[in-house]
Each structure stands twice: as structure tokens, then as C-alpha cells.
Structure 1
């Protein structure tokens, strides 16, 4: 009997986890972050709030988990950047997708909430860096190293600086809502970066 109950229990736990993360994303998209509560997340997910607290200590931790889940593919692995051999084309695909993602109202609300939280929570900021930012940065650098080997990028370029030049203006424009994030703007960031770090 115990062997039969084990997998069912695991499936129920996973369904509960997914429901909680989906509820957190939905509520943050609908309400100002400071109005969202663990009680509201639990009610939306159809679980008791203690079910949430057994897994996550705070609302901020739940929201971070909800964001982290979005960065995983169906197998739970972080996605890699495309590598067709054409760096310009690959980066434009990625940057256009990034701009489009940041203009999605639900994603925008979620990332703004997380950005505000990690600015004031050093422990969560460290977890964000370890679990999300660093793996994504390494995936991006792996693509840039491939371009360096192919002679498409300055072999001596500081890859951290390349990523700063590529992504920081987009993030700044998004953060301050200073101008639209368009496909043309995404393309211009790629063009500017590739000119700056040409071989």
C-alpha cells in the first residue's frame, strides 16, 4: 500500500505547487504587489495557507518561485540561447522575444514585483542571483563564446560587458517606462553591441 500511496502523494504535492505558483502569478498581475497576501494566494490555489508556509517562508519567496518556474522548460532545465551559427540573427531573435516578454502585462507585473522585493531583501537577492540570474548569464555567455570561436565577436571581449551593453538599455527603458520596447529597438541594441565588439 505504501508504494501505491507514495507516487499519488507526490503527484498531489506537485499539483498543489503548480496551483500555488499559478495563483501567485495571476494575483500579482491583477493587484498591486503590496495588496497580495499569502491568504489570497492560498484561496486562489485552493489550498490552506499552511500548505504554502510549509514550502515557502514568505510571500516574496512564493513570488520568486513563480518567476523561477517560468524560466524552466518542460524538463525543468534552463533554456539555452539559439545557436544557428549566425550571431546577429540569433541575438535578434532573443532580444525581440525579451522585449515582447517585458511588454506582456502579466509578466511585467510579476517582474516589477520581484525587482522591488530583491532590492530590499538581501537573502532573496542572493537566491535570485544563484538560481536565476547566474544560470541565464552563463547560457548567454556560452553563446557569445561560440561566436568568439567562429570569429564573429572580438576574442578578447569582456563577455559580462557585452551583456551589459546588450541588455542594460532595454532594462532601463522598461524600468522607467521611458519608451516602448519594440522589435526595432531590440534590433538596434544588437546592431550597436555587435559594432562595439566586432572582431
Structure 2
């Protein structure tokens, strides 16, 4: 009898996790479908099948809901990919591959970045959070700290590894923070302003310009 009663006892933590995931999915779906401005806590609650008081118990605003949902989506995507060029491998933290060829490695990861920025699942929430972060300094700081900075540090570590090698492609004394901005800055600028399509060819050119500069190269022997 006691065993039967124990089996019927609901697992509140599992129920909470289901509700949280449903809220995440609802927030991301609504932003894609109707836009950030028309997304509301009430709409998210109705889509997720929960009361809005449940959302307010966990988050102070729709921006906070969307930020956590987007971070969760990004983490799941990283786990599923397991790192650039290694689909399905989910062991250990994501890192930019180090094949010994810096240019190839950077092209690989920047191409993956372009693919993600062109994917509506990531593009629409990213734009919403970037725009909201301009007028909401607290959200902007949190978005940069939790989402952007960890990604930028991947570039720092890969460039530092190349700098430590005798023939690694990065000379000593280079400010690695500025160096990574030469890679990600143009892509972010084109994406934000929609000045031209984001393509793999563009990503490759950005890497080549960043690594080799704009000055004429000596003729090959």
C-alpha cells in the first residue's frame, strides 16, 4: 500500500523542469512568429500552458525569459554539435578546433557562426535581445556576460595557442582581444545592419583579411 502511494507521489522538480522548458519553447516560438514587441508574458503563459504567475515567480520580465530561453537553446545546440566539425559529439566544453592550421580552423568556426546567424531560431531572438539590450543596460550587460563573452573567449584561446607556436600564424605582442574583433566584428556588423548577405565566402574572406592584412603580398617564388 505504501509502495503504491509512493508511486503516485508527483515529482515536483520534474514538473517544474517540464514547465520551464515549455515556457522557454513558447517564448522562442512567439518571438519568431509575432516579433518581440508583440510577445507578452500572457502570451507566453498561454502558449506554454501555465499561469502567468508561474512565469513571474521565476523571471521578472519577458526579456529575462527570452534571455534564459536563448541561452538554453544555444547550450543545447552546442551539445548536439559537439564542436565545429564533430557533429553528435557532446563530451566536454566546446572549443574551436586546433588542427595546426589556424586559417582553416577560423574559417570553419566562422562559417558555423554565419549558419547560426542565418537560422531564424537563433537570428530572431538574437536581434530582439540585442535591440532590448541597448535600452535596457542591465539586460545588455547580462547578455554580453552570459552569451557573448564565453564565445569570444573561444577565439582568444585559439589565437593564444597559435601565438605560442613557433609557426602559428600570430606574432608575439598581438592584442588578442583586438585580433578576435577583426574576425567577429565585420560579421556582426553585416548581420546587424543587413548591408549584404552573410555567406561562407564572406566568412572565408574576413578570416583571410584578418590574418594576412590588406597590404600587397610578395609574389610567390
| In 1: Cα distance, 2:13 partner to 2:179 partner | 43
Higher relative contact order at CA 8 Å, sep ≥6: structure 1 or structure 2? 1
**Bigger Rg over Cα:** 2
Q: Is the 8 A contact 1:78 1:135 kept in 2?
A: no
Give the superposition deviation at 1:4: 8.0
Name the TM-score, length of structure 2 as normaliser: 0.81
May I ask how many residue pairs the two structures share in their alignment? 196
Deviations 1:30-81 (A, max 9, x none): 1121101011111111111111111110001111112211332448986322
| In 1: Cα distance, 2:157 partner to 2:126 partner | 25
| In 1: Cα distance, 2:8 partner to 2:212 partner | 60
* Matched residue, 2:169: 152
Gaps of 5+ in 2: 80-89, 215-221
Normalized per residue, which structure has more helix?
Answer: 1
* Matched residue, 1:36: 39
Q: Is the 8 A contact 2:31 2:124 kept in 1?
A: yes
| In 2: Cα distance, 1:140 partner to 1:7 partner | 45
Give the superposition deviation at 1:137: 1.8
* Matched residue, 1:192: 209
Q: Is the 8 A contact 2:116 2:122 kept in 1?
A: yes
| In 2: Cα distance, 1:35 partner to 1:141 partner | 38
Deviates more, 1:37-46 or 1:98-107: 98-107
What is the RMSD of the two structures over their aligned residues, measured on CA atoms?
2.4
Gaps of 5+ in 1: none
* Matched residue, 2:156: 141
Q: Is the 8 A contact 1:81 1:143 kept in 2?
A: yes
Deviations 1:132-156 (A, max 9, x none): 2222222221111111112321221
Name the TM-score, length of structure 1 as normaliser: 0.89
